[in-house]
Structure formats: C-alpha cells, structure tokens
C-alpha cells in the first residue's frame, strides 16, 4: 500500500496540518519507509483475536449524573487566544 504525494495531501488535510507542495513527496517517502517496516505485522496470525483497546480490565466507571464543578468562566477563558464578555472569540466561520 505505497503512499504517493496525493495520498499525503489527503492525509495532511485529514490531520489539519498545512503541508507545502514541495514537502509532499519527501513525506511520502518517509511514511513509506515507516509503513514498510510496520507491514511485518502481516506475519502474525491474529485469526480470532479480540482487538485490545485497553490495559484496564475493569469496565469504565459511571458516576451520578449530577453537576460537580462549574462557574469557572475566567479559568476556562484564561488561555484563549481571544475572548470577550465571557465568550471565546473566533474568526467568522460562516463562509
């Protein structure tokens, strides 16, 4: 499953990382090197094996569905690139 520049462009878009055109080909080569190495996993027989998503055998805990925290507008906004009147200020998103 070799990656070409067009695939890198698509994946970079999925990852929302702006990638200049002249970086696409070198990146494709790097990724192909890594993926070729990863493909040794095809040697492993995983027939009937359940995918392992967690090291923790216990089911996720549930807590009571009640408010436990809040009223922290200033703390929440304290690292915002822009904020005003208790809101995040973002660029116009309707295009």
Interface with another protein (CB under 8 A): 1, 3, 7-8, 10-19, 27, 30-31, 33-35, 37-44, 46, 49-56, 58, 60-61, 63, 72, 75-76, 78-82, 88, 90-91, 93, 95
How many of the other CB atoms lie within 10 Å of CB of 77?
16
How far apart are CB 5 and another protein at their closest, in Å? 13
Convert 26-70 into a string of H (helix), E (strand) and C (coil): HHHHHHHHHHHHHHHHHHCCCCCCCCCCCCCCCCCCCCCCCCCCC
How far apart are CB 80 and another protein at their closest, in Å? 6
């Amino acid at each position: 499953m070799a990656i070409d520049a067009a695939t890198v462009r698509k994946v970079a878009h999925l990852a929302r990382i702006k990638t200049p055109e002249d970086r696409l080909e070198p990146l494709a080569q790097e990724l192909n090197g890594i993926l070729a190495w990863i493909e040794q996993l095809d040697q492993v027989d995983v027939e009937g094996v359940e995918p392992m998503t967690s090291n923790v055998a216990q089911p996720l805990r549930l807590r009571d569905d009640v408010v436990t925290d809040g009223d922290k507008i200033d703390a929440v906004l304290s690292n915002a690139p822009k904020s005003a009147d208790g809101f995040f200020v973002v660029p116009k998103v309707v295009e």
